[in-house]
A and B are shown apart, each in its own frame.
Chain A
Amino acid sequence: MTTIAPVASRRRRTDRAMRGVLLVCTLLALVPLVFVVYYLLEQGLGALSWSFFTSDPSGRFLGDPGGVRSAIIGTVLIVGLASLLAVPLGIGIALYLVEYGKASRFAHVVRYFVDVMTGVPSIVFGLFIYIVLVLSGIGGNFAGWKGSIALALLMLPVVSRSAEVVLTLVPDSLRESALALGSPRWRVVAKVVLPTAMPGLVTGSLLAIARGAGETAPLLFTAFAVNSTTWNLGNQMNSLPIQIFNDVRQAQSNIVERAWGAALTLVLMILALTLLARLIQRRSRIA
């Protein structure tokens, strides 16, 4: 006569306890997110106003500290140029790896170094651009475009890695059928591979741009920062992360308030990019 022996209570307790621990850890991981968002809204919403977005930092320690117009414009311009550099180059590297390099030794080395590049600290990129472009005095001293290049270096491996994943997903049968029709490889890439992979490429690039937009360290000694608005990437240029970084270190409450407002603005911009990326991703999945 078979009876089903119950699981020893010790084992059952351990199982239940460990499930609990794993759940608690998961919730614990989300606690900082909740708190960061809470304080961003609590402290930052109050700072937002029309003049916050339409005036430059005044540079005054007493009285009205001014807004963050120059920082927003600077971030958009610097990140925009960085994207123009990093996205085509990153996708180019991925195209090489997927369409030409494949499993060759050189491709492995490139892939490895692209991976390694994702681990290089952002400040090292900043330092490097400082040495190569600022110290050498090319095109003047500090400039927005130099910040863009530093950011582009940072975004490049991220774009390339995600693009490689997406390009690998393009079925080989598509390529082969196009090649079988006698199209040269470049045409296959341009007319078949890229269009098929486009939504994924856009998603990956947007996420990389979002990551770049929040970076402070590479801009510190490349774009530097000035208070006034400039549209010229050849000049020193303000940006949101630098504005926040500088404001945090001032003890005046109205300047700190501007920092929270700028932080909320920056996070919202990044969130918008991330959401856009996810939307495009979802679209492509349905298609």
Chain B
Amino acid sequence: MSSQPKEARVSAEPNEQSAASPVATHVPAPADRAGAREVRTVAPTVAIQDLHAYYGDQHAVRGVSLTYAANEVTAMIGPSGCGKSTLVRCINRMHEEIVGARAEGTVTIDDADLYDNDVDPVSVRRTIGMVFQKPNPFPTMSIFDNVAAGLRLTGRRGDVKDRVETSLRGAGLWDEVKDRLARPGMGLSGGQQQRLCIARTIAVEPDVIIMDEPCSALDPVATLRIEELIDELKRDYTIIIVTHNMQQAARVADKTAFMLTGELVEFTDTRTIFTNPSDTRTEEYVTGKFG
């Protein structure tokens, strides 16, 4: 089921490095991929241990443990309300920003515990960037200022210009916007806005990027560009992507986790989960028996 979209993707992407590029890391061979890229920056491993998350009395995530491997793309799939978004929002401690929400358990990035008492959630979010479902550039800021927004928080001055360019190039947006950096970010198309948000996220040099259904508000062409970008980004980052679109998970992810009613049902190679799942619930979900 995943091979067809794959073909479309390759043809839409003529400048992609050829399939000959060798697999030069500990990254396991991706599920269905013409060629994995090499790791440019070694990103950290993120491990979740017995995580519980609540909204008031509602128990949204029920004791999930899993490890996101470094420089890999891990997809979180499952029907809506299964807790996948809540889970990833616990990783960068955004979950606790919601009124009445709390989380218990351990999340480590390499060996540092993110829920340690003396860890400031603000610094966690600096290390773990996030891209949201709806493109959310700051409406009052220009394209340039949007990308520089995070940089300015830490008071970097000198290299802001270079970093903005690097980030926009990294997000594959530079050529489209380099002549109108002073124009408002809201003037871009939806897909461009989302890539602007990705540029804004990578500008602060996080180690991990969480993407919460980053393409759900975009059309197929824009979606494809983001997916290409994700493939590119994993050379530098560990990437966690929440998606309700199984084809997308199959296209971009090395590993896939399937969640149901707050619990982790299955977590394995993307290819395995879509071709030979060990749990019948996974099988039923990926074959579209329920949604």
Direct contact of A and B (CB under 8 A): yes
Q: Say how far B111's CB is from chain A's closest CB, in angstroms.
A: 7
Q: A49 within 8 Å of B by Cβ?
A: no
A5 to B114 CA separation, bound complex (whole angstroms): 11
Complex contacts, A8 vs chain B, CB 8 Å: 154-155
Complex contacts, B126 vs chain A, CB 8 Å: 5, 7
What are 9 of the A-B contact pairs (CB < 8 Å)?
A: A2-B127, A2-B207, A4-B119, A4-B123, A6-B120, A6-B123, A7-B122, A8-B155, A12-B120
Q: A285 within 8 Å of B by Cβ?
A: no
* Contact between A7 and B120, CB atoms less than 8 A apart: yes
The one of A2, A7, A11, A12 in contact with B112, judged by C-beta atoms closer than 8 angstroms, is A2
On whether A3 and B120 interact (CB within 8 A), knowing A8-B154, A11-B153, the answer reads no
Q: B284 within 8 Å of A by Cβ?
A: no
Q: B44 within 8 Å of A by Cβ?
A: yes
Complex contacts, A2 vs chain B, CB 8 Å: 44, 109-110, 112, 127, 207
A7 to B127 CA separation, bound complex (whole angstroms): 11
Interface membership of chain A positions 14-42, coded 1 if the CB is closer than 8 angstroms to chain B and 0 otherwise? 00000000000000000000000000000
Closest residue on chain B to residue A1 by CB atoms = B110
A167 to B127 CA separation, bound complex (whole angstroms): 49
Complex contacts, B127 vs chain A, CB 8 Å: 2, 4-5
Number of interface residues of A (CB under 8 A): 11
Q: B124 within 8 Å of A by Cβ?
A: yes
A1 to B41 CA separation, bound complex (whole angstroms): 11
The one of A4, A7, A12 in contact with B109, judged by C-beta atoms closer than 8 angstroms, is A4
On whether A7 and B44 interact (CB within 8 A), knowing A1-B110, A2-B109, the answer reads no
Closest residue on chain B to residue A3 by CB atoms = B112
Q: Say how far B184's CB is from chain A's closest CB, in angstroms.
A: 27
Complex contacts, A10 vs chain B, CB 8 Å: 155
Given contacts A2-B109, A4-B109, A7-B123, 14 further A-B contacts (CB under 8 A): A1-B44, A1-B111, A2-B127, A2-B207, A3-B112, A4-B114, A4-B123, A4-B124, A5-B127, A7-B122, A8-B154, A8-B155, A10-B155, A11-B154
A12 to B122 CA separation, bound complex (whole angstroms): 10
Identify which of A2, A3, A7 gathers the most chain B CB atoms within 10 Å of its CB: A2
Q: Say how far A25's CB is from chain B's closest CB, in angstroms.
A: 22
Complex contacts, A5 vs chain B, CB 8 Å: 123, 126-127
Closest residue on chain B to residue A12 by CB atoms = B120
Q: Say how far B79's CB is from chain A's closest CB, in angstroms.
A: 29
A2 to B205 CA separation, bound complex (whole angstroms): 12
Q: Which residues of B pack against A, CB within 8 Å?
A: 44, 109-112, 114, 119-120, 122-124, 126-127, 153-155, 207
A3 to B119 CA separation, bound complex (whole angstroms): 11
Q: Say how far B12's CB is from chain A's closest CB, in angstroms.
A: 35
A7 to B204 CA separation, bound complex (whole angstroms): 13
A-B interface, 6 closest residue pairs, ranked by CB to CB distance from nearest: A2-B44, A2-B110, A7-B122, A7-B123, A4-B123, A2-B109
A12 to B118 CA separation, bound complex (whole angstroms): 13
A12 to B44 CA separation, bound complex (whole angstroms): 26
Q: Say how far B290's CB is from chain A's closest CB, in angstroms.
A: 31
Closest residue on chain B to residue A10 by CB atoms = B155
Closest residue on chain B to residue A5 by CB atoms = B123
A6 to B114 CA separation, bound complex (whole angstroms): 12
Closest residue on chain A to residue B120 by CB atoms = A7
Q: Say how far A3's CB is from chain B's closest CB, in angstroms.
A: 6
A12 to B126 CA separation, bound complex (whole angstroms): 14
Q: Say how far B124's CB is from chain A's closest CB, in angstroms.
A: 6
A238 to B110 CA separation, bound complex (whole angstroms): 79
Q: Say how far B46's CB is from chain A's closest CB, in angstroms.
A: 9
Complex contacts, A7 vs chain B, CB 8 Å: 120, 122-123, 126
* Contact between B112 and A4, CB atoms less than 8 A apart: yes
Closest residue on chain A to residue B238 by CB atoms = A2
A186 to B176 CA separation, bound complex (whole angstroms): 57
Closest residue on chain A to residue B153 by CB atoms = A11
Interface membership of chain A positions 76-100, coded 1 if the CB is closer than 8 angstroms to chain B and 0 otherwise? 0000000000000000000000000
Complex contacts, B112 vs chain A, CB 8 Å: 2-4
Complex contacts, B119 vs chain A, CB 8 Å: 4
CB interface residues, A 233-271, toward B, < 8 Å? none
A8 to B155 CA separation, bound complex (whole angstroms): 10
Closest residue on chain A to residue B70 by CB atoms = A2
Complex contacts, A6 vs chain B, CB 8 Å: 120, 123
Closest residue on chain B to residue A11 by CB atoms = B153
Interface membership of chain A positions 168-205, coded 1 if the CB is closer than 8 angstroms to chain B and 0 otherwise? 00000000000000000000000000000000000000
Q: Say how far B40's CB is from chain A's closest CB, in angstroms.
A: 16
Closest residue on chain B to residue A15 by CB atoms = B122
Identify which of B114, B120, B126, B153 gathers the most chain A CB atoms within 10 Å of its CB: B120
Complex contacts, A3 vs chain B, CB 8 Å: 112
A212 to B195 CA separation, bound complex (whole angstroms): 55
Complex contacts, B120 vs chain A, CB 8 Å: 6-7, 12
Q: Say how far A123's CB is from chain B's closest CB, in angstroms.
A: 39
A1 to B155 CA separation, bound complex (whole angstroms): 24
A252 to B185 CA separation, bound complex (whole angstroms): 67
